[in-house]
Amino acid sequence: MLGAPGSGKGTQAKRLAEKFNFTHISTGDLFRQNISAGTPLGVEAKSYIDHGQLCPDSLTINMLHDFLSRKEGIVGCILDGVPRTTVQADMLEGRGHDKQLPISVVINLNVDSDEISRRMLKRAEIEKRSDDTPEVIQQRIANYLAQTKPLEEYYAQRGVLCHINGMGSMDDIFDDICRELVARFPELAL
Ligand code: ADP
Protein backbone atom coordinates (compact mmCIF):
# COMPACT_ATOMS: atom_id res chain seq x y z
CA MET A 1 0.00 0.00 0.00
CA LEU A 2 1.43 3.31 -1.07
CA GLY A 3 0.04 6.68 -0.07
CA ALA A 4 0.64 9.79 1.97
CA PRO A 5 0.36 9.71 5.75
CA GLY A 6 -3.35 10.00 6.43
CA SER A 7 -4.31 8.58 3.02
CA GLY A 8 -6.15 5.74 4.71
CA LYS A 9 -3.76 2.98 3.71
CA GLY A 10 -3.67 1.51 7.24
CA THR A 11 -7.46 1.18 7.37
CA GLN A 12 -7.65 -0.37 3.91
CA ALA A 13 -4.67 -2.66 4.55
CA LYS A 14 -6.35 -4.12 7.65
CA ARG A 15 -9.59 -4.79 5.79
CA LEU A 16 -7.78 -6.37 2.84
CA ALA A 17 -5.76 -8.62 5.13
CA GLU A 18 -8.96 -9.82 6.80
CA LYS A 19 -10.84 -10.41 3.56
CA PHE A 20 -8.07 -12.28 1.72
CA ASN A 21 -6.42 -13.92 4.75
CA PHE A 22 -3.15 -12.05 4.27
CA THR A 23 -0.82 -10.89 7.01
CA HIS A 24 -0.98 -7.14 7.60
CA ILE A 25 2.43 -5.64 8.32
CA SER A 26 2.61 -1.98 9.34
CA THR A 27 6.14 -0.78 9.97
CA GLY A 28 4.69 2.21 11.87
CA ASP A 29 2.92 -0.24 14.23
CA LEU A 30 6.07 -2.40 14.57
CA PHE A 31 8.11 0.68 15.49
CA ARG A 32 5.45 1.81 18.01
CA GLN A 33 5.40 -1.68 19.58
CA ASN A 34 9.18 -1.54 19.96
CA ILE A 35 8.95 1.94 21.48
CA SER A 36 6.32 0.82 24.03
CA ALA A 37 8.41 -2.23 24.93
CA GLY A 38 11.51 -0.05 25.32
CA THR A 39 13.68 -2.24 23.03
CA PRO A 40 17.00 -0.82 21.71
CA LEU A 41 15.39 -0.63 18.25
CA GLY A 42 12.47 1.31 19.75
CA VAL A 43 14.78 3.78 21.47
CA GLU A 44 16.62 4.41 18.20
CA ALA A 45 13.40 4.68 16.15
CA LYS A 46 11.76 7.12 18.56
CA SER A 47 14.41 9.76 17.97
CA TYR A 48 13.52 9.81 14.26
CA ILE A 49 9.76 9.32 14.54
CA ASP A 50 9.19 12.13 17.05
CA HIS A 51 10.86 14.54 14.61
CA GLY A 52 8.80 13.38 11.66
CA GLN A 53 11.85 11.79 10.02
CA LEU A 54 11.99 8.39 8.42
CA CYS A 55 13.87 5.72 10.31
CA PRO A 56 17.08 4.38 8.70
CA ASP A 57 16.48 2.04 5.75
CA SER A 58 18.43 -0.96 7.11
CA LEU A 59 16.83 -0.69 10.54
CA THR A 60 13.39 -0.75 8.92
CA ILE A 61 14.01 -3.59 6.47
CA ASN A 62 15.78 -5.73 9.10
CA MET A 63 12.83 -5.22 11.45
CA LEU A 64 10.47 -6.34 8.68
CA HIS A 65 12.43 -9.52 7.91
CA ASP A 66 12.82 -10.24 11.61
CA PHE A 67 9.02 -10.05 12.01
CA LEU A 68 8.50 -12.34 8.99
CA SER A 69 11.04 -14.89 10.20
CA ARG A 70 9.11 -15.33 13.45
CA LYS A 71 5.76 -15.92 11.68
CA GLU A 72 4.70 -19.25 10.24
CA GLY A 73 2.23 -20.15 7.52
CA ILE A 74 2.15 -16.76 5.81
CA VAL A 75 0.34 -17.00 2.46
CA GLY A 76 0.82 -13.36 1.51
CA CYS A 77 1.36 -9.98 3.07
CA ILE A 78 -0.08 -6.52 2.81
CA LEU A 79 2.81 -4.15 3.40
CA ASP A 80 1.61 -0.89 4.95
CA GLY A 81 4.18 1.86 5.25
CA VAL A 82 7.04 -0.01 3.64
CA PRO A 83 8.90 0.56 1.37
CA ARG A 84 9.01 4.31 1.95
CA THR A 85 12.17 5.05 -0.03
CA THR A 86 13.60 3.71 -3.28
CA VAL A 87 16.53 2.32 -1.27
CA GLN A 88 14.06 0.24 0.76
CA ALA A 89 12.35 -0.88 -2.46
CA ASP A 90 15.76 -1.97 -3.83
CA MET A 91 16.43 -3.87 -0.60
CA LEU A 92 13.12 -5.74 -0.94
CA GLU A 93 14.32 -6.80 -4.40
CA GLY A 94 17.55 -8.10 -2.85
CA ARG A 95 19.81 -5.19 -3.81
CA GLY A 96 21.68 -4.06 -0.72
CA HIS A 97 20.11 -6.81 1.39
CA ASP A 98 20.57 -10.57 1.65
CA LYS A 99 16.84 -11.38 1.78
CA GLN A 100 14.14 -10.65 -0.80
CA LEU A 101 10.45 -9.87 -0.51
CA PRO A 102 8.90 -9.71 -3.98
CA ILE A 103 6.08 -7.20 -4.48
CA SER A 104 3.33 -8.33 -6.84
CA VAL A 105 1.09 -5.26 -6.85
CA VAL A 106 1.30 -1.73 -5.44
CA ILE A 107 -1.95 0.02 -4.55
CA ASN A 108 -1.41 3.78 -4.58
CA LEU A 109 -4.10 5.71 -2.70
CA ASN A 110 -4.44 9.20 -4.17
CA VAL A 111 -5.71 11.86 -1.76
CA ASP A 112 -5.24 15.60 -2.28
CA SER A 113 -2.97 17.49 0.10
CA ASP A 114 -5.66 19.65 1.78
CA GLU A 115 -7.60 16.54 2.67
CA ILE A 116 -4.40 14.88 3.99
CA SER A 117 -3.72 17.78 6.39
CA ARG A 118 -7.36 17.80 7.53
CA ARG A 119 -7.42 14.07 8.23
CA MET A 120 -4.12 14.10 10.08
CA LEU A 121 -5.10 16.97 12.34
CA LYS A 122 -8.38 15.22 13.13
CA ARG A 123 -6.56 11.96 13.92
CA ALA A 124 -4.14 13.89 16.12
CA GLU A 125 -7.03 14.95 18.36
CA ILE A 126 -8.27 11.39 18.69
CA GLU A 127 -5.07 9.30 18.93
CA LYS A 128 -2.66 11.77 20.53
CA ARG A 129 0.35 10.20 18.78
CA SER A 130 3.65 11.88 19.65
CA ASP A 131 4.34 12.47 15.92
CA ASP A 132 0.96 14.10 15.21
CA THR A 133 1.71 17.70 16.23
CA PRO A 134 1.11 20.27 13.43
CA GLU A 135 4.86 20.89 12.84
CA VAL A 136 5.71 17.19 12.75
CA ILE A 137 2.74 16.50 10.45
CA GLN A 138 4.07 19.10 7.97
CA GLN A 139 7.50 17.45 8.15
CA ARG A 140 6.03 14.00 7.51
CA ILE A 141 4.10 15.27 4.49
CA ALA A 142 7.25 16.96 3.12
CA ASN A 143 9.23 13.74 3.62
CA TYR A 144 6.53 11.76 1.89
CA LEU A 145 6.70 14.04 -1.18
CA ALA A 146 10.50 13.98 -1.31
CA GLN A 147 11.27 10.39 -0.34
CA THR A 148 8.20 8.19 -0.84
CA LYS A 149 6.30 9.64 -3.80
CA PRO A 150 9.15 8.70 -6.21
CA LEU A 151 8.12 5.08 -5.56
CA GLU A 152 5.08 5.67 -7.82
CA GLU A 153 7.42 6.02 -10.80
CA TYR A 154 9.63 3.19 -9.51
CA TYR A 155 6.72 0.71 -9.45
CA ALA A 156 5.04 2.13 -12.56
CA GLN A 157 8.21 1.20 -14.46
CA ARG A 158 7.90 -2.35 -13.13
CA GLY A 159 4.26 -2.51 -14.31
CA VAL A 160 2.82 -3.23 -10.86
CA LEU A 161 1.39 0.19 -9.90
CA CYS A 162 -2.36 0.56 -9.52
CA HIS A 163 -3.87 4.00 -8.81
CA ILE A 164 -6.94 4.19 -6.57
CA ASN A 165 -8.89 7.36 -5.81
CA GLY A 166 -8.67 7.68 -2.02
CA MET A 167 -11.16 10.53 -1.70
CA GLY A 168 -14.44 8.56 -1.50
CA SER A 169 -16.04 6.64 1.36
CA MET A 170 -14.00 3.90 3.03
CA ASP A 171 -16.39 1.25 1.67
CA ASP A 172 -16.20 2.55 -1.90
CA ILE A 173 -12.40 2.72 -1.78
CA PHE A 174 -12.26 -0.81 -0.38
CA ASP A 175 -14.52 -2.07 -3.20
CA ASP A 176 -12.32 -0.33 -5.81
CA ILE A 177 -9.18 -1.95 -4.41
CA CYS A 178 -10.79 -5.40 -4.26
CA ARG A 179 -11.97 -5.05 -7.87
CA GLU A 180 -8.46 -4.14 -9.03
CA LEU A 181 -6.89 -7.00 -7.09
CA VAL A 182 -9.33 -9.58 -8.41
CA ALA A 183 -8.81 -8.29 -11.97
CA ARG A 184 -5.07 -8.90 -11.56
CA PHE A 185 -5.33 -12.10 -9.54
CA PRO A 186 -8.58 -13.91 -10.48
CA GLU A 187 -7.80 -16.69 -7.99
CA LEU A 188 -8.58 -14.19 -5.19
CA ALA A 189 -12.27 -14.21 -6.23
CA LEU A 190 -12.66 -17.89 -5.31
P1 ADP B 1 1.79 7.47 8.81
O2 ADP B 1 0.50 7.53 9.54
O3 ADP B 1 2.51 8.76 8.73
O4 ADP B 1 1.67 6.76 7.50
P5 ADP B 1 3.13 5.25 10.18
O6 ADP B 1 2.30 4.89 11.36
O7 ADP B 1 3.09 4.30 9.01
O8 ADP B 1 2.77 6.72 9.73
O9 ADP B 1 4.66 5.46 10.60
C10 ADP B 1 5.00 6.36 11.62
C11 ADP B 1 6.48 6.72 11.53
O12 ADP B 1 7.29 5.53 11.62
C13 ADP B 1 6.92 7.40 10.24
O14 ADP B 1 6.68 8.78 10.22
C15 ADP B 1 8.42 7.06 10.24
O16 ADP B 1 9.15 7.89 11.12
C17 ADP B 1 8.46 5.65 10.81
N18 ADP B 1 8.39 4.66 9.72
C19 ADP B 1 7.36 3.81 9.45
N20 ADP B 1 7.61 3.05 8.36
C21 ADP B 1 8.86 3.43 7.93
C22 ADP B 1 9.70 3.05 6.85
N23 ADP B 1 9.32 2.12 5.95
N24 ADP B 1 10.90 3.64 6.72
C25 ADP B 1 11.31 4.57 7.58
N26 ADP B 1 10.57 5.00 8.62
C27 ADP B 1 9.35 4.45 8.80
The string of pLDDT tens digits covering residues 14-33 is 999 999 999 999 999 999 99
- Mean of per-residue pLDDT scores for the chain: 94
Q: What is the pLDDT of residue 130?
A: 76
94: left (phi over 0), alpha (psi -120 to 50) or beta: left
CATH of the domain at 39: 3.40.50.300
Q: Is 123 known to be catalytic?
A: yes
Range of the domain at 54: 2-189
Q: Is 179 known to be catalytic?
A: no
Number of structural domains (the chain) is 1
Q: What band does 12 get if pLDDT is binned at 50, 70 and 90?
A: very high
Asked whether the predicted pLDDT for residue 190 surpasses 80, the reply is no
Q: What whole-number distance in Å separates Cα of residue 13 and Cα of residue 58?
A: 23
Q: What band does 159 get if pLDDT is binned at 50, 70 and 90?
A: very high
Q: Phi and psi (nearest 5°) for 25?
A: -120, 115
Q: Is 140 known to be catalytic?
A: yes
What pTM was computed for the model?
0.92
What separation in Å is there between the alpha carbon of 54 and the centre of ligand 1?
A: 6
What separation in Å is there between the alpha carbon of 27 and the centre of ligand 1?
A: 6
